[in-house]
Amino acid sequence: QPIGHGATISAPHMHAHCLEILKPWLKPGARILDVGSGTGYLTALFAEFTGPDGLVVGVEHIPQLVQTSINNIRADGRGALLDANKIVMVVGDGRLGDPENRGPFHAIHVGAASPTLPEALLEQLAPGGRLVCPVGNEGEHQQLVAADKSTDGKSVTRHELMGVVYVPLTDKEHQLARAA
């Protein structure tokens, strides 16, 4: 479903599936990164799991989408989470992770397909953490991948979960060109 600026919102069943895949990492006090946070819907859901001591950072490279997310979260009665910096929405290149480097993150969700698992995101993943990311090129076969970092932080185990179709994780200019 298009949400403007060349971005889409994933189908509700995909949000539910990603929540299920990440559920063991979505604990009170956890730090979560949501790359390509779009409308802020999934970002707000992550905050429900992490509780008052958690932190959820949503990264989107289109400023208007960041503002839409903030407006949506406030309209849903969760503005206090924004005010308390329990949910932080930022403009940035999600391929590089959190521009303020508030990690390491216990869980990272990526809402767009990357040709490979983004190395910068794996670096921001905490030891014992999980990254969920669609992997594959635009218009080609893509897989939803869960990448688990070992507890010593020295290795990553990749699990291919299912075939998916996502918009590409790209730069701002490519995304806006898709909208034209």
Contact assessment for residue 81 and residue 134, using Cβ atoms and an 8 Å cutoff: no
Cβ burial of 117 (10 Å; 0-12, 13-18, 19+) is middle
Contact assessment for residue 138 and residue 113, using Cβ atoms and an 8 Å cutoff: yes
- Cβ contacts of 102 within 8 Å, gap of 6 or more: 31, 55, 57, 88
Contact assessment for residue 12 and residue 34, using Cβ atoms and an 8 Å cutoff: no
Reduce the DSSP state of residue 104 to 3 states and report it: coil
Say how far apart CA 55 and CA 32 lie, in whole Å: 6
The catalytic position among 10, 37, 69, 114 is: 10
10 among known catalytic residues:
yes
Give the catalytic positions in this structure.
Answer: 10
